[in-house]
A and B are shown apart, each in its own frame.
Chain A
Amino acid sequence: MVKVLVYPANSLILADLVERFGHEPLSVQQEIREKISAPGLDSPPLNITPDDPKIGLRYAAVEVPSGVRGRMALIGPLIEEAEAAVVVHDPDPTFGCMGCARTNELVNFLIRARKIPLLELKYPSTEDDARDFVVRVAEFLKSLENGK
């Protein structure tokens, strides 16, 4: 079993695919779940507090917008933990979306810099592309099993 980071980090479809192939998906839902179920926090809707953008300073300097750093406080540790990653570019917002183009740029860079097994795909626009998309994700996940 390999820890696979999915990006968009809140994509349920990608997380589900990773799980179906026997790996552990690293997604932002887990982080949020931990935040909203932890006692003593009251900062709806995500229970992200002003401390989170400060934690994000580990990944981006203070001149980077607070919204980027707040997101990085969630995603940064997942990137560090990841042993492989599946990244989908320009997805439909319903597929998964982190909302911020600057965060996307930084996350994509940091994932590449880790030099872990990485599959980058464009979001499919036709049914044929969608089939091909799923096949390629499946092959990538299987290859992780085989240690390729």
Chain B
Amino acid sequence: MSEIVRIAQLSCGSEYSGIQQEIDEAARSVGAEMVFPDVDAGDIQRIEDEFGLRVASPDLKLMMARGKAVVDGISDIDAVFIGTCFRCAEAALVRSELRRYIYETTGLPVISYSFTERTTATTLLTRMEALTTMALRKNLLVRERQRGLTAGIDSGSTTTKCVVMRDNEIIGTGWVPTTKVLQSAEKAFEEALEAAGVREGELEAIGTTGYGRFLAGERFKADLVQEEVTVNSKGAVFLADTQKGDATVIDIGGMDNKAISVHNGIPGMFTLGGICAGASGRFLELTARRLGVEITELGALSVKGDARKIAMNSYCIVFGIQSLVNSLSAGAKPEDVAAAACHSVSEQVFEQQLQEVEVKEPVLMVGGSSLIEGLPKAMEELLHVEVHVPPNSQFIGAVGAALLSSGFIEEE
């Protein structure tokens, strides 16, 4: 594999949406380059018969022909980015089928994305970073055991978590709401060190992840500064003890949601959702506030309720909450309202994200929101499979970072 990660771009509409330079910039910033697999006119003419999908748009035919060139190994490719215009139904069909086809036949890491003219390099950065990590650092990702004394810091948008691990065991944790990135990270770090009974100087390696990973990574001179898709995948399968075979990881965060297909502990297909607050942990925080309960009490309340008794007219964080308030004023029980909120969030993730990945069992729900019992329960009802919440699931990113950073001890 070349030093620069070569990402095949299979897209329709990116240049006319004015975002091609954003895609290129996101790739460049993670040491990758976008390449367009070579095809000729004959390849495009034959592709509908060969791939079996008939479409009206010529650029989608070109996209499919380029996808086949990737599968046929015509181009030297490390990973694949599939992008089409948001709200184009024809393109969504091609995007979905092409992603499945390439992933199943080549095993190359693939991500797909539907863009608008508002898509920026920053929006794409985490996705590109995850893609290049999967392509370039498989050796790091195959690590199954944590060794030595390491710490992981997960600087999330809502909370900052830290764990200290020694020889595959968690020996200290810290958890604080995120205010200022560095201050919160330092506080969580101190909490974890104190709980573990170790000093910072004793640590052999540190890993950071989450939104504040770069800032925190610089402050703590981290050995590993890594986006949350790969780190959370590792953390999830480690904590659930499902490192071999398939798994699906669902993480509903404060600002964005992750749905990741994992095979032998390495993420393959994934989606990151972050457009709508109605599908985030924030919606549940607001619901708890409206019900006058702590967020930590919402889960127990929700499992006693029945979501079907509440009419939710909107997924929107504003109008959805309004529906819940209206139900309460009409005499609805708080537990039914709590259950309806959990169902609403789960349903959005199910409809908008889980359709984009292969849902294979075991399904692992992680992150702080997974402790709100109504959420995994609602997801079980939607998926018709058992949903597992591993122990310490709220520390998933921090555990993944501590685990992966221990790989750097050996390298030294």
Q: Is chain B found bound to chain A in the same assembly?
A: yes
A residues adjacent to B (C-beta < 8 A): 42-46, 48-54, 63-71, 92-94, 97-102
Minimum C-beta distance from B344 to chain A (A):
23
A46 and B44 alpha carbons, distance in the complex (Å): 22
A43 and B116 alpha carbons, distance in the complex (Å): 15
In chain B, positions 100-138 with a C-beta closer than 8 Å to chain A are 115-118
Residues of B within 8 A of A53 (CB): 16-18, 116-117
What per-residue 1/0 map shows which CB atoms of B73-106 lie under 8 Å from chain A? 0000000000001111011000000000000000
A63 and B86 alpha carbons, distance in the complex (Å): 9
User: Provided the pairs A68-B85, A99-B58 are in contact, do residues A45 and B91 lie with their beta carbons within 8 angstroms?
Assistant: no
Residues of B within 8 A of A48 (CB): 15-18
User: Provided the pairs A66-B115, A67-B12, A67-B13 are in contact, do residues A100 and B18 lie with their beta carbons within 8 angstroms?
Assistant: no
A49 and B118 alpha carbons, distance in the complex (Å): 10
Q: Which 10 A-B pairs have the closest CB atoms?
A: A67-B13, A65-B85, A101-B56, A99-B59, A70-B16, A66-B17, A53-B117, A50-B117, A50-B18, A101-B57
Tell me whether A44 and B21 are in contact (CB under 8 A): yes
15 contacts between A and B (CB under 8 A): A43-B18, A49-B18, A50-B18, A50-B118, A52-B117, A54-B117, A64-B87, A65-B13, A65-B91, A67-B13, A67-B17, A68-B13, A92-B41, A99-B62, A101-B56
Residues of A within 8 A of B19 (CB): 50, 66
Tally of B interface residues using CB under 8 Å: 30
Q: Does B20 sit within 8 A of A, measured CB to CB?
A: yes
Tell me whether B15 and A45 are in contact (CB under 8 A): yes
What per-residue 1/0 map shows which CB atoms of B21-59 lie under 8 Å from chain A? 100100000000000000001001000000000011111
A contact patch SS: loop
Residues of A within 8 A of B55 (CB): 101
Residues of B within 8 A of A63 (CB): 87
Minimum C-beta distance from B8 to chain A (A):
17
Tell me whether B18 and A93 are in contact (CB under 8 A): no
A102 and B88 alpha carbons, distance in the complex (Å): 9
A51 and B17 alpha carbons, distance in the complex (Å): 9
Which residue on A lies nearest to B41, using beta carbons? A94
User: Provided the pairs A65-B91, A66-B86, A93-B41 are in contact, do residues A100 and B12 lie with their beta carbons within 8 angstroms?
Assistant: yes
Tell me whether B20 and A44 are in contact (CB under 8 A): yes
In chain B, positions 269-290 with a C-beta closer than 8 Å to chain A are none
Residues of A within 8 A of B116 (CB): 53, 66
Residues of A within 8 A of B14 (CB): 67
Minimum C-beta distance from A133 to chain B (A):
19
Minimum C-beta distance from B122 to chain A (A):
13
Residues of B within 8 A of A101 (CB): 55-58, 90
Residues of B within 8 A of A100 (CB): 12-13, 16, 57-59
Tell me whether B41 and A70 are in contact (CB under 8 A): no
Residues of A within 8 A of B17 (CB): 48, 50, 53, 66-67, 70
A126 and B48 alpha carbons, distance in the complex (Å): 22
Our pick among B15, B57, B91, B115 for the contact of A46 (Cβ within 8 Å) is B15
Our pick among B41, B56, B86, B118 for the contact of A65 (Cβ within 8 Å) is B86
A102 and B41 alpha carbons, distance in the complex (Å): 22
Minimum C-beta distance from B134 to chain A (A):
27
Tell me whether A93 and B44 are in contact (CB under 8 A): yes
Tell me whether A93 and B87 are in contact (CB under 8 A): no
Our pick among B24, B57, B61 for the contact of A102 (Cβ within 8 Å) is B57
Tell me whether B87 and A70 are in contact (CB under 8 A): no
Residues of B within 8 A of A69 (CB): 117
Tell me whether B117 and A70 are in contact (CB under 8 A): yes
User: Provided the pairs A51-B18, A66-B115 are in contact, do residues A97 and B58 lie with their beta carbons within 8 angstroms?
Assistant: yes
Which residue on A lies nearest to B57, using beta carbons? A101
Looking at A46, A98, A99, the one whose CB has the most chain B CB atoms below 10 A away is A99
A101 and B58 alpha carbons, distance in the complex (Å): 7
Looking at A52, A70, A100, the one whose CB has the most chain B CB atoms below 10 A away is A100
Tell me whether B13 and A66 are in contact (CB under 8 A): yes
Residues of B within 8 A of A66 (CB): 13, 16-19, 85-86, 115-117
A71 and B17 alpha carbons, distance in the complex (Å): 8
Looking at B86, B88, B117, the one whose CB has the most chain A CB atoms below 10 A away is B117
A37 and B49 alpha carbons, distance in the complex (Å): 40
Minimum C-beta distance from A54 to chain B (A):
7
Minimum C-beta distance from B341 to chain A (A):
28
